[in-house]
Chain A
Amino acid sequence: MTPQEALFHHQATEKAGDLVHRLKLQKALTTYATAVERAKQRFVDWEQARQHAARIKWDAINHLDQYLEQFEALFTARGGVVHWAETAEQACQIVLDLVRQYEVRKVVKSKSMTTEEIGLNEALEGAGVEVRETDLGEFIVQLAGEKPYHIVTPAMHKSVAEISHLFHQKLSVPETENAEALTRAAREKLREDYLTAEMGITGANFAVADVGLISVIENEGNARLTLSLPPVHVAVVGLEKVIPRLEDLALFWPLLAASGTGQHLTCYDSLIAGPRQPGELDGPEACHVIFLDNGRTQLLANLEQREALHCIRCGACINACPVFANIGGHAYGTTYQGPIGSVITPRLGSLARWKHLPYASSLCGACSEVCPVHIEIHRHLLENRRDAVGAKYTRPWERWSFKLWAWVMRRRWRMDMVARMFRALQRAPARLGLEGTRLDPLASWTRTRDFPPLARESFRHYWETHEQPS
């Protein structure tokens, strides 16, 4: 068992039994689901919108080299700089070089999962740079010394009381159960940071090829301030974020808002075409886009799963996942949680290390059903399981028991025989007083679940011995 898997089992077990945690999560997920249903009603045809989006993303990903070159040429022509990073380390190094070049001591950041993926905060802090997360949710988890709990709502797991306590401890804000007062406190605290930071770092939701600009969408205004006030703007962008045309945003902005938060549009949908241009009032003097590979080209080469690069990081599959609703976001131990995270994390990194993730799914398909760009997430989870088994990443006893199971299931008489044996022996542990002990073969199942006894008669036997309806 890899350390990642051991940690996952430990955290998942703990969280699944934490009823307070579950209640907080249920409340957030219910609010989300209601809003999304309303937002979908505005669409002429939600299914058609999803198909259209899938088709546009297919075009983008299957002509990725052309669109990236087009973006680079246009963005560079306005004075922007485009960098290319093959790995997380290279991407961090590019930012650290820029930090040195512009003599940066403080950085303000707006929410970016790509920078979480490459561990940018740790790299910057290691170089002595002060890093300030400005999205309220990110600000909260940064204060608490935690990782984001969810790619869209990073502080979903914290109650207002917990946040109040945290703000009181770290910022000397009076305790309050009022979300507005806490938001106000964060606003006041961060105002000065935007004005004194020498660099603003953001991600990007889309990189539009035919006009060479990036799009950053948000609700709070912190991203706008981050990319407007400091003299240098750096955007770390996964190279799969490309879309072909500016007009495609008329579909992707509403789609992402509806699936992400249940809004018809988020408050601010910004387009950034480069550094401040002659005649403009304000804006950074330098603007850098860092395109990140970090395993994405590996996923691109996997024909079966290439469409996983269509993901627009809305979080809908996470919110729909019954496993997430029980174990929460931190248990996964990954930057990208939930179903899509369990598809891409093993593919961007190593399947040997993360092979347990695709098993954190009931394969119910809720993820694929809600995905706004029509990714068949549950199918890819199954492919990850198949490949993990094929590569013999599973434990020997697991392989043998499945071989045995397959052998039994292949013949009717073997299956019937095993069922008869089970029926005869199922009460034995209870009769012998072994129930729940280490000698009870069902103990690990019945610790948290019921195992209802098999019926006295099998359905098949009943069917054969009773009169059948004509």
Chain B
Amino acid sequence: MSNPRERIFKRIQKALEITAPVPFPAFAEPPPSCYRDIPQSPEELLERFAEEFKAVGGVFHHARRMAEARALLQQLFSEAPGRSIAAADTTGLRELLAGLAGESLTWVSSRQNAGPALKFVDIGVTEADALVAQTGSIFLSTATGAGRCLSVLPPHHIVVASADQLVPTLGDALRLIRERYDGQPLSYFTLITGPSRTSDIEKVLVLGAHGPRRLSLVLVG
């Protein structure tokens, strides 16, 4: 008795008895990036990230120290008084946000499925795994305690990250993810490049299609 899986594999193996001619020679080493101008020094990384992040519609804030970051976040929260804020429950964010938003701030825990409960949240605050300087992207996994929905369901997503999380290229970020989380039980990773968008109607760009309309980054250090 054979099943669909066996029959499919049998057909594949039969077809692959002959290998197709190699279209192009293998590259000795994969290029570090398919893009031009790989930023190198910490200053370059920071400058390039800020430039790319803004170009895709993100709002970039830079704080040298904690106190400055707290002031920036206070201001972001106060732009929308009475709005509900949810943050990933991490030591870093607990410390940073202590006393900032009062009653309107909820810490999202993993006790029950948190996703649907975020329906009425206006601002989601998360950390990040890595920041890709060359593309202005934020790499986010569930290892940061952010889950899947906190960074996509609320209309405003605020990311708090530190300057030492900057990596030059997308390849670097993927390698870092592999090394850091090898064998760990994680089900979800996402690379975020700007706020949600669509051009499905006459190719007119509209921000905030189904995900956040606003994406802010507070970079500390």
Contact = CB atoms under 8 A, between A and B. Distances in A.
A329 to B, nearest CB: 14
Identify whether the interface residues of B are mostly helix, strand, loop, or mixed: loop
Given A222-B210, A247-B171, A261 B16 contact: no
A255 B34 contact: yes
B187 A195 contact: no
A140 interface: yes
A163 B197 contact: no
A221 to B, nearest CB: 2
Given A62-B20, A155-B200, A180-B206, A283 B12 contact: no
A247 B187 contact: no
Given A86-B8, A228-B149, A297 B15 contact: yes
B12 A65 contact: yes
Contact of B188 (A221, A225, A270): A270
A43 B11 contact: no
Size category of the binding interface on chain B:
35 or more
Given A27-B203, A84-B8, A55 B152 contact: no
Contacts of B150: 281
Interface in B183-198: 185-198
Interface string A60-79: 01111100110000000010
The listed residue with most A CB atoms (<10 A of its CB), out of B34, B192, B212, is B34
The listed residue with most B CB atoms (<10 A of its CB), out of A55, A247, A254, A280, is A280
B7 interface: yes
B102 interface: no
B40 interface: no
A283 B147 CA distance: 7
A220 interface: yes
The listed residue with most A CB atoms (<10 A of its CB), out of B4, B18, B145, is B4
B9 A65 contact: yes
A135 B200 CA distance: 9
A246 B109 CA distance: 30
Contacts of B108: 281
Interface string A194-214: 010000000000000001010
B133 interface: no
Interface string A287-318: 10001010001001101001100000000000
Interface of A: 24, 27-28, 31-32, 42-44, 48-49, 51-52, 54-55, 58, 61-65, 68-69, 78, 84-86, 90, 134-137, 140, 153-155, 158-160, 163, 179-180, 182-184, 187, 190-191, 195, 211, 213, 219-222, 224-225, 227-229, 239, 246-247, 249-251, 253-255, 261, 264-283, 287, 291, 293, 297, 300-301, 303, 306-307, 374
15 contacts: A27-B202, A44-B36, A52-B31, A55-B26, A62-B19, A84-B3, A135-B200, A153-B203, A213-B189, A224-B190, A229-B149, A239-B8, A277-B185, A277-B186, A277-B187
